[in-house]
Structure 1
Amino acid sequence: MNVVEIKIEGDKAVVKNPEMLKGRGQTVPYDPRFPNTNQTRNCYQNYLDFFRCQKVKGEDYEPCSWYKFAYNELCPPGWTAKWDEQRENGVFPGRI
């Protein structure tokens, strides 16, 4: 199958085959949790989910890379740089 599959687990969307996204030049697929045009919350949620995934599963857990792909596609680079700096300084407002 040549389609990216997403499975909803609780309140999270999980890509069942993230390898389909590599090298295809695709953007993040539709996420029903964020139906509006403004994707700010989607950006932030994927940023949080990436670091939560790494915290729970470890930094070498490959499926976590989906969240990194998603937030890199959705978030302006200035936001992620600011959030990275806040995490390093221990003042990031989100729960990771």
Structure 2
Amino acid sequence: MPTKIQDFMKTTPSHPAFSKAQNQAPHCWQRYNEYVMCLRTTEGDEDKCKHMKQLAFSICPDDWTEKWEEERPAGLFAGIQWPIVDRPFLAHKKGGH
């Protein structure tokens, strides 16, 4: 049983780019986008991205991740997009009118 609790209690390891910063918001943003990129490259396989999700959700405030989880399906998330949503206003960039 201690192993399961220890696995659950793990947090995000330090990242060289953010190691001296007291403000961990950029680290949170990076980890969350790495998680979304994992989803994108694995076509949404949550199981394969479980570790990346744990890293992001352990360093980011809950209200941020909740907001981003709501924004992503609506196509409003400012970071990496998954799922890729249809955005008619970008049709001209894809060869549309």
2:42 pairs with 29, 32, 57, which one? 57
From the superposition, tell whether residues 60 and 79 of structure 1 become closer, same or farther in structure 2 (CA, over 3 Å).
closer
Aligned to 2:25: 40
**Structure 1 position 22, deviation (Å):** 5.9
Q: Partners in 2 of 1:46 and 1:29 — Cα distance?
A: 11
Moved over 2 A (4+): none
> Which letter does structure 1 place at the counterpart of 2:10?
Q
Aligned mates of 1:60, 1:85 — CA distance in 2: 17
Which of the two has greater strand per residue?
A: 1
Relative to structure 1, the CA distance from residue 49 to residue 61 in structure 2 (aligned partners, 3 Å threshold; closer, same or farther) is same
1:65 Cα deviation after fit: 1.7
Map 1:81-96 to 2 at 5 A: 81-96=66-81
Q: Which runs of 5+ in 2 are unaligned?
A: 82-97
Instruction: Quote how far apart the aligned CAs of 1:89 are.
Output: 1.1
* Unmatched segments (≥5 aa) in structure 1: 1-20
1:23 & 1:31 partners in 2: Cα distance? Answer: 24
Matched to 1:46, the amino acid is R
Name the % identity.
32
What is the alpha-carbon root mean square deviation over aligned residues? Answer: 1.9
* 3-state SS, counterpart of residue 17 of structure 2: coil
Q: TM-score, normalised by structure 1?
A: 0.67
Q: Which of 1 and 2 has greater Rg?
A: 2
Do residues 31 (structure 1) and 28 (structure 2) align?
no
Distance in 2, matches of 1:57 and 1:23, equals: 28
Deviation at 1:51, TM superposition (A): 1.2
